[in-house]
Amino acid sequence: MQFVTRVGCIGLGPFNLSFAALAKNVPSVFLECWEARKKFNWHPGLLLPNAYMQTSPLKDLVTLADPTHPLSFLSFLKDKGRLFTYLNAKQKQVKRWEFTAYMQWAAAQLTSIRYNSEVKDVLWSQEKGFCVRTSSGMHYVQNLVIGAGLVPYLPKFVERTTIPVIHSSRFLSWDFQQLVKKRVVIVGGGQSATDIVAYLLDMDIDFYALTWINSRNSWWSLDDSPFVNELFSPRYTHYFEHLKPHKRAHVLRAQRYADRGISLASLEALYEKLYDYRFREKKKNICLLPSTEAIGFSTENPKALICLQKEMEKEFVVQADVLIMATGYKNKIPSFLKSIKENMLFEDPETPVLDAHYKVAWRKKWHAKLYFQSGVKRQKGIAEDNLSLMSYRSAQILNDIVGHAYYKLPDQKALQFFGHPSINFFD
């Protein structure tokens, strides 16, 4: 009789969905994945019709771990009867709506997902391992995989205004009639902000003014060159995780446009829209402000957004009736881990120490295993909070749980040698 390992997943984003898809094929794993929502969805507030993914469709839920897996993106296209049509469209990247539809299709085929199951607390028992208390009951597992941890980031100064403020993650839930004849301010200089501005122009909203504030010194394109893309590889991850923490932080800052840049196609399309808006439609109510940081609201006027021109070191005021914050996400250890947090080793307050298999290091030895799938960029490198290595990472975790290489993950070659050339780098 085969020994069965009980595994729990908390949170159903793309990372844990990838894990669940790969775990489906492992007979020695009994998986339950708890998700508070009633169905799978991925950033529904940003599913804009012309928003594209920034990764290859081969970097789907399963392919980099198992190219023959039935829940691949190509299998989705075939099942939906549009494989040839997709090829004929000659899309370099997948649109976000279609990749989301693919993930929903995969999720619908997994019996391990428990929707409407919000995790309230995780406790530790020497006899039973992890005790996961959810809205649907208590569950006991020896292995736990966390796929929650990134939350929308809003600077504290937005709490001091009375005007409507919305984070980009909820953009499509907005009543756009609230923007008519209003002074709209968008803060952020990445892909989400770019997609939002393009969408607002396509909607032809009659706003009074639109001001776009970008703390970067321009709208920088995504560095998508072949050599830079090798940073999104298992070999680079292995190199990066062995650097000292202060070196890793420095390296990540230097690489920011490899994962925080804007796709060139998006920039070119938006520039053309803005050109037509200004010179064909003769409208001059859009202002782009690079090298500018929003730093707070006036205490005398809650609509007066105080800004700093960073290079000139001068403050000025932008009047705002509506504020859209495309300010990204931040790491946050989920509150349901508070009962076991004291036994976790941390590199900083929101970053647990992980081994090569994404397993948390304990202060006191516990026999159960806790893995983190998100919020690990500071330790594992630039690829870890986008989709590039999610299937490879999921397979690594599964292999560690079952104790052998169920998924064969041979060393993937890179043209660059990451590390010290004192060893044989002609391999």
What is the per-residue pLDDT across 306-328, written as a single tens digit (0 to 9) for each? Answer: 999 999 999 999 999 999 999 99
**Domain-ending residue, one of 281, 306, 325:** 325
**Domain-ending residue, one of 325, 343, 367:** 325
427 located within any domain: no
Task: Please name every residue paired with 288 in a beta bridge, in sequence order, or none if there are none.
Answer: 212
241 located within any domain: no
- Cα–Cα distance list, 420 to 156, 229, 236, 239, 266 (Å): 43, 20, 13, 10, 38
Give me the number of domains the chain comprises: 2
Same domain flag for 162 and 123: no
Q: Is 90 left (phi over 0), alpha (psi -120 to 50) or beta?
A: left
Same domain flag for 176 and 294: yes
Average pLDDT, rounded, for the chain: 93
Q: How far apart, in whole angstroms, are the C-alpha atoms of residue 206 and residue 201?
A: 9
At 1 the pLDDT is 44
Cβ proximity of 162 and 321 under 8 Å = no
Q: How far apart, in whole angstroms, are the C-alpha atoms of residue 241 and residue 244?
A: 8
Same domain flag for 319 and 374: no
Same domain flag for 114 and 163: no
Half-sphere exposure of 2 (CA within 13 A, CB side): 9
Same domain flag for 76 and 145: yes
Same domain flag for 64 and 30: yes
**Most distant CA pair in the chain, distance:** 76
273 located within any domain: yes
Q: Which residues fall within 8 angstroms of residue 1, CB to CB, at 6 or more apart?
A: none
Cβ proximity of 311 and 293 under 8 Å = no
Same domain flag for 86 and 135: yes
Q: How far apart, in whole angstroms, are the C-alpha atoms of residue 91 and residue 375?
A: 30
Cβ proximity of 15 and 373 under 8 Å = yes
Same domain flag for 56 and 177: no
pLDDT tens, residue by residue, 114-147: 999 999 999 999 889 999 999 989 999 999 999 9
Same domain flag for 367 and 289: no
Structural domain including 371 reads: 5-151+331-402
Which CATH number belongs to the domain containing residue 134 in this structure?
3.50.50.60
Confidence class of residue 160 from pLDDT cuts 50, 70 and 90? confident
| The model's pTM | 0.93
Same domain flag for 393 and 317: no
Task: Please name every residue paired with 294 in a beta bridge, in sequence order, or none if there are none.
Answer: 307
282 located within any domain: yes
Same domain flag for 147 and 162: no
71 located within any domain: yes
Same domain flag for 138 and 185: no
Task: Please name every residue paired with 34 in a beta bridge, in sequence order, or none if there are none.
Answer: 10, 114
At 425 the pLDDT is 52
